C-alpha cells in the first residue's frame, strides 16, 4: 500500500481557537498526552496503515514543528519513506499565502507531483483518532469511487456543528454545512447500532481519499479558484463524481479549541479511555527522548498519566496528565490539570541563581493548589500558588494566562511568584 497512496496532512491556519497554545507554535506542534505532538496522531495512523510517504502543509509558526519532525521521523536510507514539511511559500505563480485547505494542497502540488501514487489521502492535523486507512482504501476501491469521505455518525444535537452528508447505499448524494433546521431531510442509514443511539446523521471528518488524477484536475483546472475542500470542492463534486462514504464508528475528536483539547487530554486518564494509548497494533510514534523514568515521593496518584523524567513530591494528583520533565513540589494538590512539562532540567547552579534573584524554579512549587488548568511548557510556579478554574471565572486574556470556558491556560514560560492566585 505504501506506493499506492501518498498522504497530505493539513497543518491548519493561525490556530486562533487554540490560543494561547498556538502563540508560538503551529497547531500540529501543540503537545498532547504529556509526551506527543498533535501531528504525531495523523502520522502514526498513516504508518500503522502502511502509508510511509507524507507531506505536512504548514503556514504559521512552523519552526518547532519542523524541528520535531526532523528529530523524530528518520527512515532507512534504503527506504522510500519520508515525512516532509511543505511550508507556505510565495512564488511567481502563487504570490499569496494559503487561502484555505484546497488552496494549501494546490500550492503544494508541484512538490507532490514527482511522487507516483494512485491515490492521495488528505488529513487534518488537529484531530484525535485511530483509523486503519487500508480499510478506507478498500472501501474506496470496492465502491469504484472517485472520492471517499470518512464520516462519523452523530446525533441531532451534534449535527449543527458539522458538515452533514446524505447517503444512499454508501454513496453520498448531498451535503449541507452546519445545518440549523430541516434536519429530518438529512437522515442516513447509519446501521442498527448507531440508530439505537440516535446517531442518524453522517458528519464529515475532514478526511478524504482522492483518485490522484482527479485531485490534480480539480485543483488545477476545474476548480482552480476554490479555496476549501469542505465548503467548495466536496459539495461541487457530489453530483459530478462518484463520492463514497466510509463510515467510522470509533473515537474521533476534533480538538481545534481549548475546551475540546483539555477534555481530550484529561479523558486519557480514565480506566478505559476512548482513545487507547496502550494498543499494540496502533502505536503512537513520537520523538525518542533519552529521559530517566519518573520519580515520585509521597504522592497519592489517582487516574493520572505521568510522563518520563518527572520529579514529583506532590501530596495528591487526580485526573491529570503530567508531561515530560515536570517538577512538582511538596504538599501540592492537582485536580483536572494538564501540565505540558519542560524542555530542559535546571542544574543545582541554576536553582541557586533562581533563589538569589527571587525567581521560582522551573515547574510547580510547594503547597500549590491547581484545578481545571492547562500549564504550557517551561512555566515557573512559586510556592503557595492557587489556580482554581471553573464556571465562576470569566473568559479573558492577560499577559500570564488565558481563561476559556472556565479553563485556565497558563502561557508558555509564564512566571507566577509565591502566593499568586487565579480564580480565587
In this structure, the answer to whether residues 353 and 401 fall within a common structural domain is yes
CATH number of the domain within which 382 lies: 2.160.10.10
Asked whether the beta carbons of 18 and 27 are under 8 A apart, the reply is yes
Q: Which residues, other chains included, contact 239 with Cβ-Cβ below 8 Å and sequence gap of 6+?
A: none
Pick the closest to residue 35 from 287, 264, 295 (CA basis). 287
* End position of a domain, from candidates 247, 267, 287: 267
The pLDDT tens digits for 316-364 are: 999 999 999 999 999 999 999 999 999 999 999 999 999 999 999 999 9
The answer on 343 and 248 residing in a single domain is no
Count H helices, E strands: the chain? 10, 30
Pair (260, 351) in one structural domain: no
Q: What is the band of 369 on the pLDDT scale with cuts at 50, 70, 90?
A: very high
Q: Are residues 250 and 310 in the same domain?
A: no
Query: What is the CATH classification number for the domain harbouring 159?
Result: 3.90.550.10
Q: Which domain holds residue 312?
A: 295-422
pLDDT for residue 103 = 85
Q: Is residue 285 part of a domain?
A: no
Residue 171 has pLDDT above 60, yes or no: yes
318 and 233 within one domain:
no
Asked whether residue 284 is domain-assigned, the answer is no
Dist. CA 87–CA 366, nearest whole Å: 43
Indicate whether 178 belongs to any domain. Answer: yes
Burial (CB count within 10 angstroms: exposed 0-12, middle 13-18, buried 19+), residue 95:
exposed
In a domain, 255, yes or no: yes
- In tens, the pLDDT along 283-327 reads 999 999 999 999 999 999 999 999 999 999 999 999 999 999 999
Same domain, 248 and 349: no
pLDDT (0 to 100) of residue 86:
84
What is residue 107's predicted lDDT score, i.e. its pLDDT?
87
> Would you state the pLDDT for residue 100?
78
What confidence score (pLDDT) does residue 16 get?
84
Residue 375: which pLDDT band, with cuts at 50, 70 and 90?
very high
Distance between CA atoms of residues 202 and 193, nearest Å = 14
Query: In the structure grid, which three cell numbers stand for residue 375, read together?
Result: 500549564
Confidence (pLDDT) at 96: 58
pLDDT at 62 over 80: no
Same domain membership, residue 225 and residue 81: yes
Is 403 domain-assigned? Answer: yes
Q: Work out the average pLDDT over 32-38.
A: 95
The answer to whether residue 98 scores a pLDDT higher than 70 is: no
Q: Are residues 13 and 107 in the same domain?
A: yes
pLDDT at 337: 98
Do residues 106 and 46 both lie within one domain? Answer: yes
Q: Does 331 lie in the same domain as 240?
A: no
- Work out how many domains the chain is built from and give that number: 2
Residues 226 and 303 in one domain: no
pTM, 2 dp: 0.93
Residue 277 lies in a domain: no
Q: Is the pLDDT of residue 99 over 80?
A: no
Do 166 and 149 meet the contact criterion of CB atoms below 8 Å apart? no
pLDDT for res 347: 95
187 and 329 housed in the same domain: no
Q: 130 CB contacts (<8 Å, ≥6 apart)? A: 45, 48, 250, 251, 275, 276, 279, 282
Distance CA 298, CA 305 (A): 16
pLDDT at 92 over 70: no
pLDDT at residue 413 tops 70: yes
Structural domain contains residue 305: yes
**In the numeric block, which cell numbers belong to residue 398?**
492577560
pLDDT greater than 70 at residue 161:
yes
- 145: in domain: yes
d(CA 259, CA 406): 9
Quickly list H helices, 197-331: 212-217, 234-237, 258-267
Q: What is the pLDDT of residue 140?
A: 97
**Average of per-residue pLDDT values in the chain:** 92
What is the pLDDT at residue 228? 83
Question: What pLDDT was estimated at residue 256?
Answer: 81
Return the pLDDT at 180.
80
Instruction: Determine how many CB atoms are found less than 10 A away from the CB of residue 87.
Output: 17
Q: What is the mean pLDDT of residues 97-121?
A: 87
pLDDT tens readout for residues 384-405 = 999 999 999 999 999 999 999 9
Amino acid at each position: 500500500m505504501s506506493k499506492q497512496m501518498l498522504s497530505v496532512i493539513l497543518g491548519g491556519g493561525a490556530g486562533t481557537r487554540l490560543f494561547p497554545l498556538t502563540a508560538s507554535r503551529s497547531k500540529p506542534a501543540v503537545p498532547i498526552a504529556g509526551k506527543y505532538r498533535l501531528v504525531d496522531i495523523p502520522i502514526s495512523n498513516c504508518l500503522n496503515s502502511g502509508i510511509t510517504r507524507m507531506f505536512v502543509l504548514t503556514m504559521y509558526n512552523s519552526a518547532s514543528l519542523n524541528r520535531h519532525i526532523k528529530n523524530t521521523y528518520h527512515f532507512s536510507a534504503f527506504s522510500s519513506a519520508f515525512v516532509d514539511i511543505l511550508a507556505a511559500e510565495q512564488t511567481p505563480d502563487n504570490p499569496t499565502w494559503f487561502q484555505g485547505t484546497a488552496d494549501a494542497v494546490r500550492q503544494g502540488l508541484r512538490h507532490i507531483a514527482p511522487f507516483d501514487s494512485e491515490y492521495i489521502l488528505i488529513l487534518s492535523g488537529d484531530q484525535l483518532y485511530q483509523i486503519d486507512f487500508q480499510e478506507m482504501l478498500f472501501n474506496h476501491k470496492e465502491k469504484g469511487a472517485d472520492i471517499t469521505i470518512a464520516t462519523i455518525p452523530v446525533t441531532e444535537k451534534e449535527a449543527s456543528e458539522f458538515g452533514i452528508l446524505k447517503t444512499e447505499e454508501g454513496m453520498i448524494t448531498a451535503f449541507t454545512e452546519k445545518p440549523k433546521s430541516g434536519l429530518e431531510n438529512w437522515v442516513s442509514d447509519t446501521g442498527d447500532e448507531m440508530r439505537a443511539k440516535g446517531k442518524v446523521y453522517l458528519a464529515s471528518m475532514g478526511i478524504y481519499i482522492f483518485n490522484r488524477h482527479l485531485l490534480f484536475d480539480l485543483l488545477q483546472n476545474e476548480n482552480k479558484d476554490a479555496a476549501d475542500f469542505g465548503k467548495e470542492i466536496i459539495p461541487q463534486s457530489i453530483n459530478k463524481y462518484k463520492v463514497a462514504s466510509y463510515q467510522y464508528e470509533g473515537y474521533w475528536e476534533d480538538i481545534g479549541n481549548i475546551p475540546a483539547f483539555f477534555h481530550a487530554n484529561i479523558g486519557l486518564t480514565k480506566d478505559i479511555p476512548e482513545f487507547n494509548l496502550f494498543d499494540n497494533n496502533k502505536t503512537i510514534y513520537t520523538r525518542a527522548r533519552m529521559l530517566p523514568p519518573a520519580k515520585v515521593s509521597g504522592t497519592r496518584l489517582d487516574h493520572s498519566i505521568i510522563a518520563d523524567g518527572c520529579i514529583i513530591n506532590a501530596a495528591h494528583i487526580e485526573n491529570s496528565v503530567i508531561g515530560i520533565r515536570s517538577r512538582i513540589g511538596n504538599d501540592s494538590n492537582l485536580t483536572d490539570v494538564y501540565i505540558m512539562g519542560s524542555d530542559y532540567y535546571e542544574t543545582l547552579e541554576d536553582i541557586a541563581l533562581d533563589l538569589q534573584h527571587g525567581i521560582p524554579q522551573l515547574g510547580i512549587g510547594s503547597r500549590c493548589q491547581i484545578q481545571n488548568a492547562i500549564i504550557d511548557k517551561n512555566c515557573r510556579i512559586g510556592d503557595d500558588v492557587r489556580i482554581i478554574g471553573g464556571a465562576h471565572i470569566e473568559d479573558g486574556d492577560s499577559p500570564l494566562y488565558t481563561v476559556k470556558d472556565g479553563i485556565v491556560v497558563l502561557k508558555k514560560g509564564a512566571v507566577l511568584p509565591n502566593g499568586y492566585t487565579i480564580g480565587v
